[in-house]
Chains A and B, each alone.
Chain A
Amino acid sequence: MTAVFAVSAPVHAQNGKVVYNKWCAGCHGDAGAGDGYGSKAMLPHPRDFTKGVYKIRTTASGEIPTDDDLRHIIEVGMPGTAMPEWKSRLSAGEIGAVIEYIKSFSPSSFKDTKAKVIAIGNAPSGSGIDEGKAVFQKLECSKCHGMAGRSDGKSAPTLKDDYGNPIRPADLTENWKFRGGSSVQAIYTRLRTGLDGTPMPSFQDAIDNKLITDEQLWRVAQYVHSLSPEKAPESREVIRAARSASALPTSPDAPAWQNVERFWVPLVGQIIAKPRWFAPTVDGVWVQALHDGTKLVLRVAWDDPSKSPDPVWDEFLGRMSKTLTDVDGPLATQQGPDRLVVQWAQHPNDESKRPYFLGGDAKMPVYVWRWTSEPRLEEGTETGIAKFTALPNGRVTQAAKYVDGQWQVVFTRPLESSDTTQVPRFNAGHAIPVAFFAADGSSGEDEIRGAVSTWYMVYLDVPTPKRVFVAPIAMIALSAGLGMLLVTRAQRRVENGGSAADSSHTEER
């Protein structure tokens, strides 16, 4: 098969051109320079094939990738980017052909050069997460990735790719977005090879210099893997606000929150209202909720590597505005604050009518909490995104904390409301539609450029009636009693029929 491919390579590349022009050129450009019409709004930009430089490889830093490396990325896509998987659309033959064509964009890289795969062994046995953490610190990974791995390291604001585009270190707590895959082996491979074209270097030389062992690098991979949830979070429609018998936690770092279930709400770029935004910083919020029959507390936490505004991010904003030039006008020249909008349907019980998810409209407004890192909290209504009117006598309070690249905000408000036309009834036993908007001021995001979710529900648990506790106990007692009766009867039958000699028991009948 390999030989056939080699002989027929030119034809192959021709077929590849057809596939490429149909499916790839829109982003990667007709001549493979990463400058297709879709590229201007994308961050990260599509790969420029003319350089022959690739992030995800099994070869050493600076080397060309193998065909299998290219095939892998085409087949599975690149999580966290606009690059989708193509395995379900393209045949193996088409993918093979397009690989040849992609390589032809950089003949000086691929011609007469054979890619040399680095031998990747198996992970050492046992888990060495603690050791991995120590080596992670020794290698100063936090310089870019941050102390908690949330891409907020000291150098993060200065990072750029080979083209000068702004680039963020991977958020190590969201491994489902790792470009080359989330497995320990994939992470280890990236540590050995680096991600060419980005600031992520290869740590091969640290092994060669005996600064660390190969096993220790595996431990780092295990540690990095452990920073994310075991599985990528699934979004569920209903966020449960459990009823709490004890005092509600109103500070973001109250220990009580550790025992409250958290719900992942994914956010995507706001690309409906202008100016549209295709490169959101925030990709989701973690939501927790509790109530005690009189108050609701909602804790929203989201990763944002910058506490905006912060002068160290000025350069980054400058890069953003240079890179994303073609999206509905220029970005702000100055950083704004970070933002979060919690949006509620005003009339949750009217299920036939739900407001437009993007801030409602004039006919059906939404009720919102507008939080900014200034800090500031406004309560009011919106009749469209950022079309805000404040309500008098706001009853929501907030407490916010910025920790290692994450905002944590707790909102508190009474369940009761005097204004039930503008404000939904936060009644226990009901589900109230809620949606979220988040913006990062340091990357040029504002009231409209940001990340949005669609509608979710917050369901307030009803007080647990006493019978809920009594009934199970009664049932247990009842079934235990019946069970005993049955067992006893059965035993007697056995004894009667099984041993005539032992007649002493039969008299009990």
Chain B
Amino acid sequence: MKRMTLGAVALAFGLWGCGGSKGGNAGAGNSAVAQAGGSGAGAGGGAAGPTGNATVSGVIHFTGAAPANPKIDMSQESACQSKYTSPPTDPQYVVSDGKLGNVFVYVKSGLPVGATYPKPTTPAEIDQNGCLYHPRVFGVQVDQDIIIKNDDNVLHNIKALPKENRGFNISQPSAGMTSKRSFTKPEVMVPLECNVHGWMHAWVGVLPHPFFATSGPDGSFTIKNLPAGTYTIEAWHEKAGVQQQTVTVGAGETKTADFTFSAPKA
């Protein structure tokens, strides 16, 4: 999931062709950005959003004992159950060595108001495999295509339950099916669920810009290509909640923004 997110960022980067640009408004005068922005997402049709070469990275720590992930009874779906060697669990907490994965980290504010960023031409992908979603947590840009795949030879329905966007509910009754959907408005997070398998959950962060990442199993995340500036960075976890911090980063700098979550009190 991290790879994909970073790939999307890298792609956006490549599109604009401003790898070497310095300063806070690298993309401002770039015709590629202007063109892409003109045909793209358009959250208000403002100036093409700036990019840069600043980086915010960090590690999501987790303190205390992680709650045990609930066991999933897949006995009604042998096609899924057979994909596991040990009883499957719902990976609500991906904790390893005191680090927390599947945390969505993104720039909540600090970019110019009304700035638009062209949507990546490469779609995001989510797969249903073993009656779980892969990835479970990921980000897309507004209007970016999301390819939904079914690698299970069972019926899944994919239901999006957004608040700001229009939802959808589509069925994929067999392996090999793909569907393509997108969201037109920024929204963190849009839940996805399967009603046939009530345990299946995923979350999509929809943003008007490419500055987001999902922490890997080692808890690390990296948001690249930021213009210099002061940003509110938010970290979201499905169970442990939301945290924010403010980070000021100069051109070419890398700043660290670590977060520490703990299990919510029961």
Contact = CB atoms under 8 A, between A and B. Distances in A.
Contact of A205 (B171, B196, B197): B171
Interface stretch (B26-34, B160-168, B212-220, B230-238): B160-168
Chain B, interface size category, equals: 20 to 34
A209 B177 contact: yes
A219 B176 CA distance: 23
Given A199-B157, A205-B171, A209-B172, 18 more contacts: A52-B166, A61-B169, A138-B174, A139-B171, A140-B155, A154-B76, A158-B198, A159-B198, A162-B161, A198-B169, A201-B169, A201-B170, A203-B171, A205-B177, A206-B171, A206-B173, A209-B177, A211-B174
A211 B166 contact: no
Chain A, interface size category, equals: 20 to 34
Interface string A151-169: 0001100111010000000
9 contacts: A61-B168, A155-B195, A155-B196, A155-B197, A159-B195, A199-B196, A209-B172, A209-B176, A209-B178
A206 B155 CA distance: 11
A109 B174 contact: no
B169 A194 contact: yes
A140 B166 CA distance: 26
A173 interface: no
A165 to B, nearest CB: 13
Contact of A109 (B160, B166, B178): B166
Contacts of A208: 179
A159 B11 CA distance: 40
Interface in B230-263: none
Residue among B159, B160, B179 facing the most chain A CB atoms (10 A cut-off): B159
Contacts of A211: 173-174, 177
A198 B168 CA distance: 10
A140 B169 contact: no
A406 interface: no
A155 B159 CA distance: 15
Interface of A: 52-53, 61-64, 109, 138-140, 143-144, 154-155, 158-160, 162, 194, 196, 198-206, 208-209, 211
A200 B168 CA distance: 10
B215 to A, nearest CB: 28
Nearest to B197: A155
Return the 4 tightest CB-CB contacts between A and B, nearest first.
A199-B195, A158-B198, A62-B168, A140-B155
Nearest to A206: B173
Contacts of B154: 140
Contacts of A200: 169
Residue among B166, B176, B197 facing the most chain A CB atoms (10 A cut-off): B166
Contacts of B173: 138-140, 203, 206, 211
A160 B170 CA distance: 16
Contact of B196 (A64, A144, A204, A206): A144
Contacts of B170: 61, 194, 201-202, 204-205
A109 B167 CA distance: 11
Contacts of B196: 140, 143-144, 155, 199
Contacts of A194: 169-171
Nearest to A159: B195
Interface string B82-101: 00000000000000000000
Interface in B177-231: 177-179, 181, 195-198
A201 B198 contact: no
Contacts of B157: 199, 201
A338 B161 CA distance: 34
A263 B145 CA distance: 54
Residue among B157, B161, B177, B198 facing the most chain A CB atoms (10 A cut-off): B157
A159 B168 CA distance: 16
A139 B155 contact: yes
Residue among B76, B160, B168, B176 facing the most chain A CB atoms (10 A cut-off): B168
A107 to B, nearest CB: 13
Residue among A64, A196, A205 facing the most chain B CB atoms (10 A cut-off): A205
Contact of B159 (A52, A143, A201, A204): A201
B76 A162 contact: no
A112 to B, nearest CB: 12
A201 B154 CA distance: 15
B142 to A, nearest CB: 15
Nearest to A135: B173
Given A144-B195, A154-B76, A158-B198, A205 B172 contact: yes
Nearest to A210: B177
A53 B167 contact: yes
A268 to B, nearest CB: 29
Nearest to A203: B171
A10 B168 CA distance: 30
A205 B154 CA distance: 15
A375 B169 CA distance: 40
Nearest to A142: B155
A62 B167 contact: yes
A367 to B, nearest CB: 44
Contacts of A144: 195-196
Contact of B179 (A160, A198, A199, A205): A205
Contact of B167 (A143, A159, A196, A205): A196
